[in-house]
Chain A
Amino acid sequence: MNNRPASPYANPHLAGIGLGLVLLAAFVVMGRGLGASGAFGSTMSWLVNLVAPTHAQANEYFQGYLGDGTTHPLKAWLVFEVIGLATGALLSGLLAGRARFTVEKGPRVSTGVRLVCAFAGGILMAFGAHLARGCTSGQALTGGALLNVGSWAFMLMVFVGGYAVAWFFRWQWR
């Protein structure tokens, strides 16, 4: 998108304070934290309802997002928050010269294999986030700050799960 060299990333503690203040603002303004995975639930429910409305409306999961049909499934808090997320990230990326079309991978893995892994990782993520009732944003970050019991158990297990399999996937990253 542009050719100037990318700026270095922010100091992690500075970025963390910024992220923490946004989270605090969400608590103060809305009485809820940040999230992400719920927006994928809304999007999928909307898509299935477009293609196969009878099927979507007979499914308990999709029905939860579709409601009584009076409100558009995409008119949801997390959908608007995630649109903001994408906009904010693009803005930061453009300002820093980091927005560009590329594939994130280590030097030893082909683009095709990396893309298959990304897709597979997304499927696992969807299951993990649904079982846990939230992802890294809605559970670990939000619930972490609120000292939520389930969130802390979840967060510890994310690191356990990640470190447990990291060795087997190191060819993808290094």
Chain B
Amino acid sequence: MMTPLYKYGYFGDEFSLIAAFVLGLGFGFALERAGFGSARKLAAQFYLYDMSVFKVMFTAIVTAMLGVTYLGWIGWLDLSLVYLVPTHLGPQILGGLVLGVGFVVGGYCPGTSVAALATGRIDAILYALGILAGTFVYAEVYPWIKDFVNSGAMGQVTLPQIFDIPWGLVVFAVVAIAVVGFWGAASIERRSGGNP
């Protein structure tokens, strides 16, 4: 059996919406378990007394990265059929900066705000309304910023491709960076006195 199942035609668009709901269930459950339904817990990442955002994100990235690498290696997953968001370095660097500021000001990102509002956080409701308002303003100014948003197109490109390094070596490097990062995060938490 070859995967991605959807891309190989094992099911159609209607069933893909059911798959979306079920995958979302797992996504939301994991986020809430991690404590990401709480803005205080999320914001703590930027004040160094609780590095859970880094730990959860990097553990998830490493898990999924090792998974796709292994499934690709044994030939069960055609990684070329997994969608990659095209790279536009300039807009993505600026977008990351703006989003980072929004994270500290608002306390959430879009996914975690949904997890938080579902568990009764009033601030997350305001945050989600802010995203809707911002989306409206963005749509209205889009004609003027469109050229910038689409600038620097590099296509669908991975780190191994752009640096011409074997996939496996980049995977190994990411795992090594994560392990050192986890050790560093734990020692930073100890030094900052941990979560009050």
Contact = CB atoms under 8 A, between A and B. Distances in A.
Interface of A: 1, 9-10, 12-13, 15-37, 39-41, 43-45, 47-48, 59-62, 75, 77-78, 80-93, 96, 98-106, 114-166, 169-170, 172-174
B97 A161 contact: yes
Contact of B46 (A117, A153, A156, A163): A163
Given A118-B123, A173-B43, A153 B130 contact: no
B18 to A, nearest CB: 8
B25 A43 contact: no
B189 to A, nearest CB: 11
Interface of B is mostly: helix
B65 interface: yes
Contact of A17 (B60, B92, B98, B143): B60
Q: Which 7 pairs between the two chains have the least Cβ-Cβ distance?
A: A121-B106, A122-B130, A84-B24, A161-B100, A20-B63, A16-B59, A126-B134
A138 B114 CA distance: 14
B21 to A, nearest CB: 4
Interface of B: 3-7, 16-35, 37-41, 43-47, 52, 55-65, 67-68, 71, 76-77, 79, 81-89, 91-124, 126-140, 142-143, 146, 149, 154, 156-162, 167, 170-171, 174, 182
B138 A31 contact: no
Contacts of A158: 96-97, 99-100, 103
Interface of A is mostly: helix
